[in-house]
Chain A
């Protein structure tokens, strides 16, 4: 086992030296830091004046969650470019075969390259640490939020790195594997939202409203009598049928996984909680026969058409993040196993036009 990891270590060291050297890399990291700095400053200016219902400053939680999302966005934009030609790039440079004929095994090559790609992506997370620290100092931030959000973000960067490295082993042309990695990231980040929205729109259901209104006199006082109930129908999208698609979305997954903290009114204190609230709300089935009756003394929130408080809703609905994590794990593993199958030597079948060395 230790021999396995020492081989992985050699490939890892090789990748880090080969890929991370050079001015371009530091410029990229510098641009990234500048972007995060801008976002942090702007957020601080807008949010610092805002305090919650309890009078607490919780700008820190808002800034922190936004920075994490920003790192996820930029990380998933950069990682495919850095990992998406990790293997076929070596093949083009003529350095893959000379590695394969050593005592380093195919799995050691793939795992070593994956760990290097992941580490490079994590450098972007590391570069954002000063800003995350600043957000922590701004207050209102819970420890579990910090830990879970960073862990999930690191995991997601690993998934993108694995898909990039895997596809670079499966596809011969570096350009194609990079583009395909981007498409996978886009499918997860944007495609899931589109599927969710279009699916819900395509599966509309007829909703029959029954509304009864109080009769008021000319002076505007209640007469205590009710109008005849008016009945009308409309179509509404069924989001609850497609909410499952959202769990594969990295942004939703992140929000869903992070423990939410609330203010006194039961409203989430950070962006994660707000997105989680939206996701969980979509789990509610459409009420096909809503009744509005002003003449009933205290309308319950569920029949009045009002949404329940975020906290009550989040607590009563199903978390889906672990399913999303499982889906992402399967995707990452499939990409890496696919690359392994293509890279095994002595090679049996070769795809057309491919060159082994």
Chain B
């Protein structure tokens, strides 16, 4: 990818809205995903994630707003967008009678590759996603996780600059999730733009550089996200000496009523990262042995829950 493409590349969405009849699936979505980064698109079920993804994938026309994929407008420059765009839908469809290899070859030819190039690309992708043992089996024998890998490979066939992944990790076992995470990170490291939608937040925490929050069809503004950084958040603290820990916490100024026990750990509300580090310093200074000191919920989950709370009156 050369410099000029990098400058205009990525995904730029500004004020996009789309309704179906009187259902306003997406009201006002704006986001910016830069090349070389992984951006998480987070929102509860029915928040408009898939509708937004479909608009980004050039399948659905927005009612308002503008979209740029690698610098191109999906409505007026559909072919250019599609040449740059890989999309893994949330519906796992495959041509059941075709083999894994044929599926990838034919997909390559749909991107105007010649036969040799498509065959070579199919072999490379089969190796990349680790489906060699199943390469010449019909796709109907694939498990859900294997279909997910195939779907990912299909999205990568034409080496797109922008990758849209809609719920890529749902139904994957832990090993497959780690593989997916590594693959996504590798793709981003190659300078591609990756946008991942999911409501499984823990895994996105490990994968994504930035996040976009979508709730009721509206993306959260930067200010409201900054605000959640300072709201109360539970921290999980564990000590071999439980009673001493509880005493030290009360001594550090945390009301005993706010401390909850969860198995052999204590959950303590803390206001922001700074407050957490000063609390840790005081606990260590008081001589209590600490074995765990971590946020009880992930960064993304905390922000997500906080924004959801703010939105529902």
Contact = CB atoms under 8 A, between A and B. Distances in A.
Interface of A: 3, 6-7, 10, 13-14, 17-19, 21-22, 90, 93-104, 345-348, 350, 352, 356-357
Contact of A345 (B78, B91, B97, B107): B78
A94 B110 contact: no
17 contacts: A3-B112, A6-B109, A10-B106, A17-B102, A97-B89, A98-B87, A98-B151, A102-B111, A345-B60, A346-B78, A347-B60, A356-B54, A356-B59, A356-B60, A357-B59, A357-B89, A357-B90
Interface string B67-81: 000000011001100
Contacts of B154: 98
Given A7-B110, A345-B78, A101 B58 contact: yes
A101 B82 CA distance: 6
A93 B93 contact: yes
B61 interface: yes
A22 B87 CA distance: 30
Given A14-B95, A98-B154, A346-B55, A104 B78 contact: no
Contacts of A101: 57-59, 82, 85, 87
A17 B20 CA distance: 36
Contacts of A94: 89, 91-94
Given A18-B97, A347-B60, A352-B21, A357 B110 contact: no
B111 A22 contact: no
Nearest to B61: A346
Interface string B97-125: 11000100011011110000000000000
A174 to B, nearest CB: 15
A103 B112 contact: yes
B59 A17 contact: no
A18 B103 CA distance: 10
B106 A13 contact: yes
Contact of B110 (A10, A348, A350, A352): A10
Nearest to B79: A103
Contacts of A21: 97
A19 B97 CA distance: 8
Interface of B: 20-21, 50, 54-55, 57-61, 74-75, 78-79, 82-83, 85, 87, 89-98, 102, 106-107, 109-112, 151, 154
A204 B251 CA distance: 108
Contacts of A103: 79, 82-83, 110-112
Contact of B97 (A7, A22, A90): A22
Nearest to B95: A18
A52 to B, nearest CB: 51
A346 B59 contact: yes
A347 B55 CA distance: 9
Nearest to B63: A348
Return the 3 tightest CB-CB contacts between A and B, nearest first. Answer: A94-B93, A102-B110, A94-B91
Contacts of A102: 82, 107, 110-111
Contacts of A357: 50, 54, 57, 59, 89-91
Counting chain B CB atoms within 10 Å of each CB, the highest count among A21, A95, A102, A348 belongs to A102
Contacts of A352: 21
Contact of A98 (B20, B21, B93, B96): B93
Nearest to B21: A352
Nearest to A95: B93
A261 to B, nearest CB: 46
